[in-house]
Structure 1
């Protein structure tokens, strides 16, 4: 499986359609849902980052998913929230469209961490599991985006905990710790997407060999040449049967 990973302020329906020829899944966003996360996002914009800051984030999610209802790629939305109710509401919207709700426990920007999003959420396994349960109970297929190299976080244990809470997938930014993908794969039955530096056959196959079920492309997700190389690599891996007992296809749900 090849996914297009969310890019702050850039990953919208048009972006998803542009990569649909190559990808199985396109994760829009990230979208700040509640007052605290949106205040943090405004601070990020003030220092030059791109963010989706529409008047009504849930309506934005609805409109973006509606625009992809007939697209040849499955959609998902990466969301941030310092509070629980917006997670539940966004998950219901995703469920209506057969889309994936991806909880962002990944961002490391100080402004987001200060309000309890991103890495702060990753460090609080109990609260993260509550988010997952709420989204799952709302009927959505749930993914959790997380990263390696976060002090105090046992990533395989966290992946196991969120899977127990109802996560269908974990989306791991491996940073410079690629072998941890093998540990996460061993710790959890959730579908495992691996991210970071995926550009070609060599980088895709490294993650697949560690036990990832699929890979995602981040920054070069708008580059057809990169997407074509990675898509071909994923297809070749499947044909050679080197994924052993790992799950094939797309994220269930």
Structure 2
């Protein structure tokens, strides 16, 4: 999917092409956005800006995505675009642009802001998996690689079941914000054959190893995504894990267990 197996996670109003370019030497992918595509989500984003949230609100969101991805054409990174919508037409247009740039289209089933959820986007999609799967299917039909950004700890939501349904609808990547329920990553891994990216609190070797030992295929960095010290540390830990140190560490752990018994 991408190498090294570290991604930059989208930060609304901040994650643009310059942000991705500045950290590209440390990571294999960057999810730009999020960006609101249609009337209801754009109105929600405006309301969020009115209370001092930062959001991207270009006059033409699809053209903006195209321009941003074009700016990364010569950067050694696989880009993705995190989007929010309630309608399929703009989603298909954005997905087609992503396909043209070999970029991932990431459906945002993650945003917990009240305005976005009230519009029927963001984390509200986790409780409405039929609509989420319609969005996944519409994006996948364009030939782009589809990611779904989800979060744990949403009341009455069976996240592994939602992930499995999204995969059946055409999702290639499940991007999990683990919140304070890191072990749910293992449940998502068990429920799907999709490429699983684990997010939340990824800062160092310990946090990287925890997620990867739960079975995640990659990790992503959120807030410190512009900190080269953190990114270098995370990148080195991830590369070392997949290069084989995982086996040596597990062997050491097994040896210790045998010695203690």
Secondary structure of 2:148's match? strand
- Which range is displaced more, 172-181 or 80-89? 80-89
Return the offset for 1:181: 0.6
1:237 is aligned to 2:241:
yes
Q: What TM-score do the two structures reach when normalised by structure 1?
A: 0.95
Shift of 1:241: 5.6
Query: Which ranges in structure 1 are unaligned for 5 or more consecutive residues?
Result: 244-253
Deviations 1:135-165 (A, max 9, x none): 0001110000000000111010111100011
SS of 2:105's equivalent in the other structure is strand
Partner of 1:25: 29
**Number of residue-to-residue matches in the alignment:** 243
CA RMSD of aligned residues (A): 0.8
- Give the whole-Å Cα distance in 2 for the aligned partners of 1:129 and 1:86: 16
Q: Name 2:145's counterpart in structure 1.
A: 141
Distance of 1:125 and 1:113 partners within structure 2: 14
Residue 228 of structure 2 is aligned to residue 224 of structure 1: yes
Unaligned runs of 5+ in 2: 248-261
TM-score under structure 2 length normalisation: 0.92
> In proportion to residue count, which structure has more helix?
2
- 1:87 Cα deviation after fit: 1.0
Which residue pairs with 2:252 in the alignment?
none
Q: How does 1:93-108 map onto structure 2 within 5 Å?
A: 93-108=97-112
3-state SS, counterpart of residue 58 of structure 2: coil
Partner Cα separation in structure 1 for residue 100 and residue 206 of structure 2? 37
Q: Which has the larger radius of gyration?
A: 2
CA distance in 1, matches of 2:114, 2:93: 26
Q: Secondary structure at the match of 2:74?
A: coil
| Partner residue, 1:48 | 52
